[in-house]
Amino acid sequence: MTASLLKIAGGIVYDPANGIDGEVRDLWIDGPRIVAAPTDPAVRPARTIDARGLIVMPGGVDMHCHIAGSKVNAARRMRPEEQRAFSAGGPLPSTPTTRLTGCRYAGLGYTTAFDAAVPPLLARHAHLELADTPCIDRGCYILMGNNHYLMDAIGRREPNRVRAFVAWLLRAAKGYAPKLVNPGGVEQWKSGREGMVELDTPIDGFGCTPRQIITGVADAAAELQLPHPLHVHCNRLGLPGNFSTTLETMQALDGRRAHLAHIQFHSYGGRLDRAGTFCSEVAPLVEWFNAHENLSVDVGQVLFGPTTSMTADSAVGHYLSRLHGKRWYSHDVECESGCGVVPIEYRPQSLVNAWQWAIGLEWFLLAADPWRIALSTDHPNGGSFTAYPQIIRLLMDRTYRADALKTVHPRVQERSALKGLNRQYSLSEICIITRAGPARLLGLTNKGHLAPGADADVTIYTPAADPARTFELPRHVLQVGRLVIEDGELREEVFGRTLHVTPQSDASDDAEIAHWIDEHYSIRAANYPVSESALQSRD
């Protein structure tokens, strides 16, 4: 018997990264890694989990959510009524505590999550929160689409400076990927101008446009060979007619690898000055997407009910506040980002909300390659990540989906492409969009699959006729080899690892960046980076 050896016996294994589609197999785990089955018959595991009749998949990977940092804390402060209601036995808050966040992810079979928008100067605190989130490995993307140094370098046509700054900022803030949010538009809005800019709108004072920011950072990410490419929140999020800007963005990337975030929020037709014209324009976008393998997306699926909108796009926060007539919180961060927080509620009989719900599903059902489209709600913007089982049922059960369509605004029932889409996702495809695909898009070679050498992130589900029942409460969950969920109950709060990159740049480039920041903002670069101590696990 080997003390650290664990055997998962006789499970129905789904591992699409390795071509395994519902095969009955054994899985062997030694410490934090999956290993090959021992060849010596004398070797016995210390423990065997009987998985006969159960579904075995890699741990889930959420590549786009908002679970830590300044905007999340702003929402927690802004909505104390959610915390009070939860204490009295009500629903989970849209911005739960770090402990609840990690435990609920584990309770769905997820073992990895990435916060999608962390301002550099507040990265230290975001990392401390992520380190306090149990049961998952974690990482974050670093906001840089409205950074003064970056826009200055792009405006001066100095790609070497752009590349060096992207590398330096990711190292300094311990980030995983560069993130652009309404590139150039947030800076315009904070300067008192219209923040909903087009791709070729000049950014005052910097001599560059959103198009140049997008292509410049995409090129830098490619040259630095980052595991995940540029992560883009396109301009004009949420506005009627914004699909044309999204399509222009796809075309502007021109073969460059990029990931477009919460694509549902960028796929709208209609006119801002004509109420009632809001509609879906998924068709031209998905046609381009299907034909261009350099692009990937996560959906940002909307679910009906109350939630909180939070975004580093201050202009959107202001727009939503006026649209809904709700209070909002504008949290401007340093000189290169912003934050807008607004309580909202999605209603099935609202024309706009019903289209948002349908548009996300249209993307899932029309995208030809499941490896390039990831499940997300842009938590909590479209709804809570705890709604993932509900979305899975909508994708796997066309009868349930058709019945749900009958409950929404009549115009959406009549005009949405959903009524003619009979596609049903298979378990293998669900495994791809929730695990294998996001891991591959993130360049996480040790996650999202079950081959020897992979992290022992494993989820075991009990199959049910209702797919939502299958995925809402796993039987067992292992996070890097440690059993955090056993027989449907939380057993151990394991504190995972921070995943970040360390791209290199020349010392002379780093010195120039430090001098520029010191000169313009009186911030000492030596005091800027996140310390390694902030990344230590709680174990």
Instruction: Write out pLDDT tens, residues 399-446.
Output: 999 999 999 999 999 999 999 999 999 999 999 999 999 999 999 999
The full set of domain ranges for the chain reads 2-58+446-490, 60-441
* Position 511 pLDDT exceeds 90: no
On average, the pLDDT of the chain sits at 91
Residue 538 pLDDT: 45
Please give the residue that has the higher pLDDT: either 221 or 74: 221
pLDDT above 90 for 228: yes
User: What sign results for the dihedral spanned by CA atoms 128, 130, 133, 138?
Assistant: negative
Q: Are 183 and 150 within 8 A, CB to CB?
A: no
- Count of other CB atoms within 10 angstroms of residue 403: 10
Q: Go through 30-68 and write b for each residue having 16 or more CB atoms within 10 A of its CB, e for each that does not.
A: bebebbeeeeeeeeebeeebebeebbbbbbbbbbbbbbb
How many degrees, rounded to 5, is the angle at CA 181 between CA 328 and CA 434?
95
| C-alpha to C-alpha distance for 379 and 108, rounded to whole angstroms | 14
The pLDDT > 90 percentage for the chain reads: 75
> What is the predicted pLDDT for the residue at 527?
46
Rounded Cα distance between 249 and 80, Å, is 38
Strand order in the sheet with 258-260: 60-65, 110-118, 137-143, 177-181, 230-233, 258-260, 295-298, 373-374
| pLDDT tens, residue by residue, 84-117 | 888 888 888 899 999 999 999 999 999 999 999 9
Q: How many residues does the chain have?
A: 539
Q: What is the mean pLDDT of residues 9-35?
A: 98
Nearest alpha carbon to residue 312 among 344, 334, 345: 334
> Residue 535: what pLDDT?
54
- Whether the domain at 2-58+446-490 and the domain at 60-441 fall into the same CATH topology: no
- Was domain 2-58+446-490 assigned CATH 3.30.70.1140? no
Q: pLDDT digit string (tens) for 263-294? A: 999 999 999 878 789 999 999 999 999 999 99
Tell me the pLDDT band of 524, cut-offs 50, 70 and 90: very low
Question: Of 166-170, 340-344, 386-390, where does mean pLDDT reach its minimum?
Answer: 340-344
pLDDT at residue 523 above 50? no
Does the pLDDT value for residue 534 go beyond 60?
no
DSSP letter string, 409-461: -HHHHHH-GGGG------HHHHHIIIIIHHHHHTT-TTSS--STTSB--EEEE
Q: Burial of 123 by CB count in 10 Å (0-12 exposed, 13-18 middle, 19+ buried)?
A: buried
**In this structure, what DSSP letter does residue 256 have?**
-
Residue 235 contacts residue 183 (beta carbons within 8 Å): yes
Of 357-371, 414-428, 504-518, give the lowest mean pLDDT range: 504-518
Parallel, antiparallel, or unpaired for β 230-233 and 177-181?
parallel
Give the pLDDT of residue 349: 97
Q: Is pLDDT larger for residue 300 or for residue 510?
A: 300
- For the stretch 289-327, pLDDT in tens is 999 999 999 999 999 999 998 887 777 777 777 776 777
At residue 256, the pLDDT reads 98
This model's pTM is above 0.75:
yes
Q: How confident is the model at residue 189 (pLDDT cuts 50, 70, 90)?
A: confident
For residue 355, the one-letter residue type is W
Q: 3-state class of 369 per DSSP?
A: coil
- With tokens 């027989």, the residue in question is 487
CB–CB of 243/203 below 8 Å?
Answer: no
- Residue 319: the pLDDT is 72
Instruction: Tell me which CATH homologous superfamily contains domain 60-441.
Output: Metal-dependent hydrolases (3.20.20.140)
The dihedral sign for the CA sequence 289, 292, 293, 296: negative
Stretch 14-31: mean pLDDT? 98
- The string of pLDDT tens digits covering residues 127-160 is 999 999 999 999 999 999 999 999 999 999 999 9
Write down the pLDDT at residue 327: 75
Q: How confident is the model at residue 16 (pLDDT cuts 50, 70, 90)?
A: very high
Helix/strand/coil (H, E, C) string of 332-350? Answer: CECCCECCEEEEEEECCCC
Contacts of 510 (CB under 8 A, 6+ apart): 164, 168, 525
Residue pair 18/451 in contact by the 8 Å Cβ criterion: yes
- Peptide bond between residue 370 and the one before it cis (omega within 30 degrees of 0): no
Write down the pLDDT at residue 167. Answer: 96
CB 186 within 8 A of CB 145: yes
Residue 233 has pLDDT above 50, yes or no: yes
